[in-house]
Structure 1
């Protein structure tokens, strides 16, 4: 299988959407954390992004159950990897915004795992 992109792609990548109990609250968290504007919001869906850049969407899911990482009983399903300049400073800022720190940190000197307000794991790293 070739790693080169074909000239006639069937689709364009525009966003990744995360299920959550409150799309507006999660959009506000990521908007502040990433410095991206909320470009659309309703009771059921919110979208972050900038023109020409793939966005992040948040969709209300009734009965949403957050991942339990590192406990495998409710797998993480997907996560974001975010680049930062300083792990300690970024972690402090993200915790102040509403993220939480799980008890397990596989390689805290290289990257940190945090949980967003809806429980989705995401990683911060300086290694990108």
Structure 2
């Protein structure tokens, strides 16, 4: 999956903080530069691509759609939420018992889901 964003390396580091893994592992089939960054995780690779005119989604406004949506399973919803906020995420909705909706630093919504 490739995610458009204004700062690829910063967003890759944000998701590394949440998911673990390695940012910008050398020797892969794509070029790593200021406009492209990767997060390598046992579950696969997330790629981040600079979009100079990136417009952040506004959840849940369908006029500015999500563009993509990750659900990240956590064992402790409160601890996971605290980590998201520490890393620079923004809480969008905590009205549900089993999940919380956040935005990453580029504005993309994602959920922490209690497993």
TM class by shorter chain equals 0.7 to 0.9
Q: Which runs of 5+ in 1 are unaligned?
A: 1-15
Q: 1:118 aligns to what? A: 106
Counterparts of 2:79 and 2:18, CA distance in 1: 12
* Structure with max Cα Rg: 1
Match of 1:37 in 2: 22
Q: CA deviation at 1:109?
A: 0.5
1:7-53 CA distance string (max 9 Å, x none): xxxxxxxxx11000010110111111111111254111001114x64
CA distance in 2, matches of 1:88, 1:108: 13
Alignment: residue pair count: 109
Bigger fraction of residues in strand: 2
The TM-score, its normalising length taken from structure 2, stands at: 0.87
Measured after TM superposition, the shift of residue 63 of structure 1 is: 0.4
After TM superposition, where is structure 1 displaced by more than 4 Å over at least 4 residues in a row?
none
TM-score by length of structure 1 reads 0.79
Tell me, yes or no, if structure 1 residue 47 matches structure 2 residue 38: yes
RMSD, matched Cα: 1.5
CA distance in 2, matches of 1:73, 1:88: 31
The aligned counterpart of 2:76 is 86
Query: Any gaps of 5 or more consecutive residues in structure 2?
Result: 27-31
